[in-house]
Each structure stands twice: as C-alpha cells, then as structure tokens.
Amino acid sequence: MPTETLLSTMFSTSVVIPTQLSVNFQAQILHNEASVEVWKVQKEPDVKMKVGQSVWFASEILVKDVVDCVGKPAKWPRLYEGEIRGIVGWQKNWVRFEVMATGRADFHLWVPLEWSTLGLVRRVQHFWQRHWLVDNIPPIPVITGVRNRRLATSKAIRVRRVLEVVHVNSEVVVVE
C-alpha cells in the first residue's frame, strides 16, 4: 500500500449522519436530581440504536405557543438531537438510553429491545435479569398476519362484488 494512501486512510474522518426517529412523549421524570424528558420510539429506525449513535427528532408536544410576525399564535417544532451516552434502565422488552443533547437538556429514549444493539455483556446481563424485570410499557402497535389476511379477504370480496363470473360452456367469462 502506498504511503500517501495509508496516511489518508489513517487521518480521514467519517461523517456521522444522525438517525431520524419517530417518537411519542412518555413522561417527565427525575433522574440524578434533574428533570428529564422521556420519549418512546414508535417506529423502527433505519439502524439499531446503540451507545454512540447520533439521533434526532422534532416534536411540538412540549412547545409553548409563540406569536408569529402577523400576531397569530404558532407552534414551532422543537428539535431534539444528540448522541446516545449510555443505558440508564431496562424492562423485559425495552431499553432506556440516555441521550446527551446538543444545545438543550439531556433526554431519555425507550427503545424496543429488538431495535437496539447492547453488546455481549449487556445482553447477557439483561438475559439473567429478565425474569425479575417489569414490563409495563405497552408494546408498539403492529399489523399482524391475521389482520393482513382479513384485509386481503375483504378486498377479494369487494372485487367479487364488482365482477360477476359467468360460466358458459366450461369457459369463464367476466362481466363487469
């Protein structure tokens, strides 16, 4: 490998693109004698959440009404962004990350366990504690296979109502 390629590889910096999240506000809690906002991730992110991951989202939930230049009340979405600093709690199916925010107070994120990367030591630790942990955070609503089959069946019924199938001399003729 040429020297200049080796040096450029050693001193290059990677660009970290923050992951956009879809969240709901869950609570305001006291953590280490400070008030902290806790958010719950609602949609699976593009990458699994882990310590060191940069994240961001915008919300209008905790925004005070502001008056725009015309004098009308307006809400400006509040931008939350930062880097996941560590794990501060977990339940059977959830892990709570502490996020070191950029430009505002830190906040916490509840993330489903299957959407996170904990590392081997934390996974084993969670596995051994799992039966003692509570599970009082409601799961993310999902469309199940049963509902998908029902939707497909009702769609097929609607299609049959529109089309009428007539058998003529063992040939199928579709009449609209």
Paired with 37 in beta bridges are 28, 107
Q: Is the backbone of residue 115 left (phi > 0), alpha (psi -120 to 50) or beta?
A: alpha
pTM: predicted TM-score of the whole model, two decimal places:
0.65
Give me the pLDDT at residue 98, please: 94
Give me the pLDDT at residue 134, please: 87
Instruction: Enumerate residues 6+ apart whose C-beta is below 8 A from 47.
Output: 19, 53
Q: What is the mean pLDDT of residues 116-120?
A: 90
Q: What is the mean pLDDT of residues 14-21?
A: 74
CA distance 28 to 47: 26
Q: Which of 77, 36, 76 is nearest to 56 (CA)?
A: 77
- 157: amino acid identity, one letter: I
CA distance 50 to 84: 7
Helix H or strand E encompassing 6: helix 3-11
* Band of pLDDT at residue 167, cut at 50, 70 and 90: very low
Whether pLDDT at 24 is above 80: yes
- Say how many CA atoms lie within 13 Å of 111 toward its Cβ: 27
* Band of pLDDT at residue 128, cut at 50, 70 and 90: very high
